[in-house]
Amino acid sequence: MITQLEKMLDGPRDGALLRFSLGNEYLKAGQAAQAASYYRDALARDPAYSAAYKGLGKALEQAGQPQEALATYEQGIATATTRGDMQAAREMTVFAKRLRKAQQGPQP
């Protein structure tokens, strides 16, 4: 699937959705850094793409960059809320909350 999608890059169908789809495929393949790159490309093409923020946050978490992931989720929550995409905002709120809790460590 990745090869098929990459063949479409720089063609007439290249855009935020294609870059987002590549990010998803790389994330599924366990290549978080490559996934993050494509999610960032999607956001460069469409800064209001709520799902791309969610994907980028997940990729950054998997790549061991929790602070960047948290900042991405927070930006995504704001963007999704502005767009009225409340489901995406709720999901990212849950992801951000879990990430904050994990960063705090076990409570005594």
The 10s digit of each residue's pLDDT in 57-106 is 999 999 999 999 999 999 999 999 999 999 999 999 999 999 999 988 76
Within 10 Å of residue 29's Cβ, how many Cβ atoms? 12
Q: Which two tokens stand for residue 88?
A: 């995406």
CA distance 2 to 81: 31
Within 10 Å of residue 14's Cβ, how many Cβ atoms? 13
Report the pLDDT averaged over residues 9-23: 95
pTM to 2 decimal places:
0.91
Question: Residue 108: what pLDDT?
Answer: 61
